[in-house]
Chain A
Amino acid sequence: MKGSASGMRALKGGSSRYSIFALARNALSYHENWQKAWRSPEPKPEYDVIIVGGGGHGLATAYYLASIHGIRNIAVIEKGWIGGGNTGRNTTIIRSNYLWDESAGIYEHALKLWEGLTQELNFNVMFSQRGVLTLAHSEHELKEMRRRVEAIRLNGIDSEVMTPAQIKKLVPIIDTSPTLRYPVMGGFIQKRGGTARHDAVAWGYARAADDLGVDIIQNCEVTGILREGGKVTGIETSRGTIKAKKVGCVTAGHSGVVAEMAGLHLPIDSRPLQALVSEPIKPCLDTVIMSNAVHMYISQSDKGELVFGAGVDSYNSYSQRGSVPTVEGLLAAGVELYPIISRLRVLRTWGGIVDTCPDASPIISKTSVDGLYFNCGWGTGGFKATPGSGHVFADLIARDEPNKIAAPFSLKRFETGYLIDEHGAAGVAH
């Protein structure tokens, strides 16, 4: 199908938009004439900006570089297929209920972009603001939670404390009896939080970026970062050398490996983070529930599967599988809190490798190599930040200096000691 022949509104670059009319028209031709969502071009010898890593954050960066900063000569280089890394492995939770102002700044920036993302990209990212509830299992945790709620509200972000009775009403499957080993003492909820379809985020950004001329190059592994006189000049890949004035690395899980290619060291440990889903069942849970003390989080997917997650494994690994004790601990806590899940079968489990930082906050930074930028260290919670991360990283690459939101997350903080310690609000063990 060629563009907007039927008078339909087009995307910025000219591709046809998805709409009920497009759906009806394509239905009449047996869905055989949908155009490809993005091209598969050969890499050009040179680009203005290369983004290494075709996950959500990398594709969002490319999209905002093109749409806001007007840079069109961009390539996104992906080792496998786009969205095939951590974008497709996470538990899709979105929230911005962080303690410190710096974190509130970036996660709330992201949440506001999430709220308009489906419209902006003309791609249904299935953002569902079903609420994110965090449980407290001790007096101390409840007190800490009250403090956090006030801090969050001071930053203009919604958050409210809930009693066990209110929690039981919202989540009928939860056991709130006081006889539990770790009873539910209360909790707090961010109602604007929720989930999104993770693949759709990658595909939506890819389609919109491609439409603005961004070359998305898949099955192309970066093997080296070329430098000359302390300045980046391009990259070495499995499909040859590609020159570039600026290179932004967004390779969650492998940031340490990529940094090594440029002779840099990062404050990052790469660890497996596991998740699992049950067989699909009828709807029984319409919110996301996290529980730090007993360490499990749970939500129900639109397909009916219960989605579970726990903390990272204790040791560094790139193996993309985790240890059994972590899963065992997660399920033990799950069965106690939600007795109905005891007879469910686990459909599949998997692990992704996450970059964990000493302060459980991300790195969005220039490096000592001119023109080389890193966006990494999101640890266990990168998915929720996808639009905000891409937005501020694009700004950093385009202007060569961080904006107010990105500035606190520079590598400099490890020298100045101005750490953004979010181990508590990160919600899972690092």
Chain B
Amino acid sequence: MLQITCPWCGPRDDNEFHYGGEAHISRPLDAGKLSDAEWAEYLFLKQNPKGPFTERWSHSAGCRRWFNVVRNTATDEIIETYPMGELPKSPEGIKAYEENWRRDSAAEQNAKAGASGK
């Protein structure tokens, strides 16, 4: 059993939480510019590392808020938890965030281009 520290409610057992998969994925803003392959990459391809992983959890049986977690998938050790919209602060979390191939993906670039174009 995992013990997860909700940024608002503190440490609780994992059956109070709902898993939301990988964190920090940008939704493409200009959908028309993406090819089928790039859409497939955004929708289906996974970052599935054996080691530190940035992921989302929701405290569904508590405050019902979403937040981010850095967890080592090889050991299930939870390295840190932090609110939505923020970036990881632990060295493992920063490394996992920066080395993520999705940072260079077409969806990410498209999302950035759309954001700056406003």
Query: B75: CB under 8 A from chain A?
Result: yes
Stretch at the interface among B24-32, B43-51, B80-88, B108-116: B43-51
Give bound CA distance, A415 to B74, whole Å. Answer: 30
CB interface residues, B 9-60, toward A, < 8 Å: 14-15, 18-19, 21, 36-37, 39-41, 43-50, 53, 55
Q: Is the CB of A267 within 8 A of B50?
A: no
Give bound CA distance, A115 to B53, whole Å. Answer: 43
Interface residues on B, range: 20 to 34
Query: B73: CB under 8 A from chain A?
Result: yes
> How many A-B pairs fall under 8 Å by CB?
71
Q: Is the CB of A268 within 8 A of B19?
A: no
Interface residues on A, range: 20 to 34
Q: Is the CB of B44 within 8 A of A414?
A: yes
Kindly provide the distance from the CB of A52 to the nearest chain B CB, expressed in whole angstroms: 16
Give bound CA distance, A417 to B21, whole Å. Answer: 21
Kindly provide the distance from the CB of A268 to the nearest chain B CB, expressed in whole angstroms: 6
Give bound CA distance, A321 to B48, whole Å. Answer: 17
Q: Is the CB of A315 within 8 A of B45?
A: no
Given contacts A318-B50, A319-B76, contact A265 B45 (CB under 8 A): yes
Contact with B along A296-336 (1 / 0, CB 8 A): 00000000000000000011111101011100000000000
Task: Pick the residue among A267, A318, A321, A417 that contacts B73 (CB under 8 A).
Answer: A318
Contact with B along A267-303 (1 / 0, CB 8 A): 1111000000000000000000000000000000000
Given contacts A318-B74, A319-B73, contact A256 B40 (CB under 8 A): no
Given contacts A265-B41, A323-B2, contact A315 B55 (CB under 8 A): yes
Given contacts A314-B19, A318-B74, A319-B73, contact A325 B48 (CB under 8 A): no
Kindly provide the distance from the CB of B38 to the nearest chain A CB, expressed in whole angstroms: 9
Q: Is the CB of A358 within 8 A of B44?
A: yes
Given contacts A269-B46, A317-B73, A319-B74, contact A415 B37 (CB under 8 A): yes
Kindly provide the distance from the CB of A310 to the nearest chain B CB, expressed in whole angstroms: 14
Q: B1 to chain A: which residues have CB within 8 Å? A: 323-325
Given contacts A256-B49, A267-B40, A316-B48, 10 further A-B contacts (CB under 8 A): A266-B45, A267-B44, A267-B45, A267-B46, A269-B21, A315-B19, A315-B55, A323-B2, A325-B15, A414-B44
Q: Which B residues are within 8 Å of any A CB, using their own CB?
A: 1-2, 14-15, 18-19, 21, 36-37, 39-41, 43-50, 53, 55, 71, 73-76, 101
Q: Which A residues are within 8 Å of any B CB, using their own CB?
A: 254, 256-257, 260, 265-270, 314-319, 321, 323-325, 358, 414-417
Q: Give 22 A-B contacts (CB < 8 Å), ordered by A residue.
A: A256-B46, A256-B49, A257-B49, A260-B49, A265-B46, A267-B46, A269-B46, A269-B48, A270-B48, A270-B73, A315-B19, A316-B21, A316-B55, A318-B50, A319-B73, A319-B75, A323-B1, A323-B2, A323-B14, A325-B14, A414-B43, A414-B44
